[in-house]
Every structure is written in structure tokens, then in C-alpha cells.
């Protein structure tokens, strides 16, 4: 019985010693690898265009610059969803149905995550036809594209109707019917009457 206890104690001691030794080897290997990484990052190379004066005059020309390849990829996607929510949209995967129109590059995350701009109150325009859609916003605001309004932004929403006409209105409202006006020069202006909410 005493022999069994001594044998078990000896085996336990060997196990503890071996596990400590293997742990020590692991740490030593990690230190060696981290030292190699630090050594590689600490190496600095300086260009020396001077030559040793050996009595002969030599013209020293700088070496050609080598273009780096494999540059880091720069993403221009926004870091948050604020640019979408400011426009009144919601960020969601573009595989979902959007009742309005998807705007690209307004949401963070994957490229399939896009800003859904709902039609909202504008759905009644152009007789509420299902082919109508809200046009996207540009740098001058939502509305008539590339048309500046002094120092301010044009804050209307463009609706492209199925006849490719555009209805601009800087407020939410409903369609009241067609209107026309003739100016003193004899020009006829046709449009739609919009009632604000």
C-alpha cells in the first residue's frame, strides 16, 4: 500500500514538473516571437547619398523611388447612419422591400445596407401611381437637382412620375388638381395645385 502511494506521488510530481517545463517553453517561444516582431519594427534604414572621399570626385545621384504596392484599402462609407436618418430614411439591407427608394453610401456597414427613403406624404402626387418614386438627394438638398438657392438648400422633394414629369414642392401636402396660368407675354403655364398639410 505504501509503495502504491509513493508511486502515485512520484507520478504526480513528474506530471507537475513536465507541465511547468512545457509552459516555460511556450512562454519562451512567445517572447522570442514578440522580440522578432519588435526587432523588425525597430529597424530603421536611412539613405546615405554621400560617398567616402577617396580622392576621386564622383557625382552622387539619389536612387529611384520605388512605388509601394498593396496599399491599404480606404473606405469612404460613413461611420454611422446619421446621414440617412437626417434625410428621414432608415438603414436596412437592400434585400428588404423599400416603399420609396434606396440611396447608396448613406449607411455604415456592408454595401448591401442602404438608406430606404420612404415616399411618405408624397405618395399621393402623380395620382399615387405605383411607378412613381422619390428622386435621391444631391449636394444641393432634396429637390431640383444641381440648382442652388442662394446660400440655402432647396428642401423640396422631386417625384418622378411615370410620364417622367417632375413635381417639386417644399412642403408635405396633397394633390388638389391641375392648374394653368397665362402670363402677360402669352405663355401658358400648366401645373398641379398642392395643398399643404
The single-letter DSSP state of residue 126 is: G
- H-helix segments, the chain: 2-42, 82-86
What is the pTM (predicted TM-score) of this model? 0.28
How many residues are given for the chain? 197
Per the listing, cell 517561444 goes with: 29
Report whether 152 contacts 179 (CB < 8 A). Answer: no
Q: What is the three-class DSSP state of 28?
A: helix
Provide the residue-wise pLDDT of the chain in tens; the chain has 197 residues.
788 888 888 888 878 877 877 776 766 655 555 444 444 444 444 455 544 555 555 555 555 565 666 555 554 556 788 888 887 788 999 888 887 778 888 898 888 999 887 765 444 445 444 444 555 444 444 444 445 556 655 445 555 555 545 555 555 666 666 667 777 877 666 666 666 66
Amino acid at each position: 500500500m505504501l509503495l502504491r502511494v509513493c508511486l502515485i506521488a512520484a507520478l504526480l510530481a513528474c506530471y507537475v514538473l513536465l507541465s511547468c517545463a512545457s509552459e516555460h517553453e511556450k512562454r519562451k517561444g512567445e517572447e522570442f516571437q514578440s522580440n522578432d516582431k519588435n526587432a523588425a519594427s525597430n529597424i530603421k534604414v536611412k539613405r546615405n547619398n554621400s560617398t567616402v572621399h577617396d580622392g576621386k570626385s564622383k557625382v552622387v545621384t539619389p536612387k529611384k523611388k520605388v512605388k509601394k504596392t498593396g496599399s491599404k484599402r480606404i473606405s469612404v462609407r460613413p461611420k454611422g447612419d446619421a446621414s440617412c436618418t437626417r434625410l428621414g430614411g432608415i438603414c436596412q439591407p437592400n434585400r428588404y422591400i423599400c416603399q420609396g427608394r434606396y440611396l447608396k453610401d448613406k449607411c455604415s456597414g456592408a454595401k448591401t445596407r442602404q438608406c430606404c427613403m420612404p415616399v411618405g406624404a408624397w405618395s399621393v402626387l402623380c395620382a399615387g401611381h405605383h411607378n412613381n418614386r422619390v428622386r435621391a438627394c444631391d449636394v444641393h438638398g432634396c429637390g431640383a437637382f444641381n440648382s442652388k438657392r442662394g446660400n440655402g438648400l432647396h428642401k423640396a422633394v422631386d417625384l418622378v412620375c411615370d410620364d417622367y414629369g417632375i413635381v417639386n414642392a417644399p412642403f408635405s401636402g396633397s394633390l388638389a388638381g391641375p392648374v394653368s396660368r397665362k402670363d402677360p407675354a402669352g405663355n401658358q403655364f400648366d401645373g398641379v395645385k398642392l395643398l399643404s398639410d
